[in-house]
A and B are shown apart, each in its own frame.
Chain A
């Protein structure tokens, strides 16, 4: 077969497509400029802009507070990294438990159901207060009183309930014919869960899970409210001494910087998954 060179008509079509693309980009750029320009104008022309700039956007204060906030932010990242695997494990266990059918496992199913109902209902910040201030008050032998670990426990229990529900919806979205095929091959129900259902379910719930991760990154700051020296704590500390709110903006920038790449990654994964599913359309 000879190498293919586009026909004149195809070259023409490609040129038209390029022109269309350029025009679309132009429209997008102009629209963006108009919107962003409008917003900036409203901001800059607002009566309090001068003071706002000084108290929230001071470059000097940003520089001065940066090192402390960076150090604090390391704690946020650490809390996230410790909590996330535990949450995934807990969520998967609870979801699988709730998907069992054996009558002997009824008490476990009941426990799992009560757990998700209760812990999804309690605001995370309340749960953190309860753990950080309540558990030490019990003076239990051998139980940690470290704010860091108690805070993480609260985060894990709170998010575990959400993630369990995400997993469960994934498990339930797998078509019954998949389980039927696995049954027909002689797999036990545990085996069909382990080898057939869970792998497909996990793939399907990755985007919503990543969405929960992004939310968890932010909620690590809640533990700062009870005394872990995280980014929020560092910012507040600085603000209390210098009467300037710029460190809050700096802390916010840190969180955004971590969340944005994750959001793009989620979009990319979701798009890829949509393409795969689209294979059924032929």
Chain B
């Protein structure tokens, strides 16, 4: 494919004090790609996703979204964020709102949809993910898996160009992991561009178009899942895979 990719990261650097957390990161995500970030705990996966969502300022390098440099200090942060959806490891639903209110908040307040339109969209998506009967519940009445599914619906309700997922299943019981991964799979099949940090290697192998292995803030290896997960070039990657598989 030619032309500008959806997301292009060049020479990204991020440090906390003296500790360099991301070093010279290069990453390209084209439209409809599903890119999985793998790597040990503390390797910088969350930090990278947070930098892309402009939750953390970067120390150097550039991030381009759809050809626009979003690391420009003059960029309109809110409009950039409204083009992306992000879901965190801890679901972070707003506890004082119902499921429906959680999902319709941004469509109404950020994207200017009417309450009826927002509700329409929200109910359609909730139904698609088996949450129709939970729409009027508060989050504390939902299971972890249901909460995380709602968080996903909340992030994708406005059909963002890029969806960032940070280990969306790692706070869940094993039997709940499946229902959340089903949503990710559904999104991937519909052509949503996804960038996700995950510890689910089987899932990465199945849905990813690209896998990136992060080690101490450096992308050591990236490529199609069959290659990176099946026949890694780097010894570090092999060590990591032996430990998690």
- B-binding residues in A (CB < 8 A): 1, 4, 6-7, 9-10, 13, 16-17, 20, 280-282
Identify which of residues 54-78 in chain B touch chain A, using a CB-to-CB cut-off of 8 Å.
59-62, 71-74
Contact size class for B?
10 to 19
Name B13's contact: one of A4, A13, A282 (CB within 8 Å).
Answer: A4
Which residues of the partner chain B approach A9 to less than 8 Å between Cβ atoms?
60-62
A-B contacts besides A6-B59, A7-B11, A13-B71, 16 pairs, CB < 8 Å: A1-B23, A9-B61, A9-B62, A10-B59, A10-B60, A10-B61, A13-B72, A13-B73, A16-B72, A20-B74, A280-B90, A281-B88, A282-B46, A282-B50, A282-B88, A282-B89
Residues of B within 8 A of A20 (CB): 73-74
B33 → chain A closest CB, angstroms: 24
Distance A16 CA – B20 CA, assembled complex (angstroms): 24
Contacts of B74 in A (CB 8 A): 16, 20
Nearest-CB distance from B92 to chain A (Å)? 7
Q: Output the residue of A13, A16, A20, A281 with the most chain B CB within 10 A.
A: A13
What number of residue pairs across chains A and B have CB atoms under 8 A from each other?
33
User: 20 A–B contact pairs at CB < 8 A?
Assistant: A1-B23, A4-B20, A6-B59, A6-B60, A7-B11, A7-B61, A9-B60, A9-B61, A10-B60, A13-B72, A13-B73, A16-B72, A16-B73, A16-B74, A17-B73, A280-B90, A281-B92, A282-B46, A282-B50, A282-B166
- A19's closest neighbor in chain B, by CB? B73
Contact of A4 among B60, B62, B88, B90 (CB under 8 A): B60
Q: A16 contacts which chain B residues (CB < 8 A)? A: 72-74
Contacts of B92 in A (CB 8 A): 281
Q: State in angstroms the CA–CA spacing of A4 and B59 once bound together.
A: 10
| Chain B residues with a Cβ under 8 A of chain A | 11, 13, 20, 23, 46, 50, 59-62, 71-74, 88-90, 92, 166
Residues of A within 8 A of B72 (CB): 13, 16
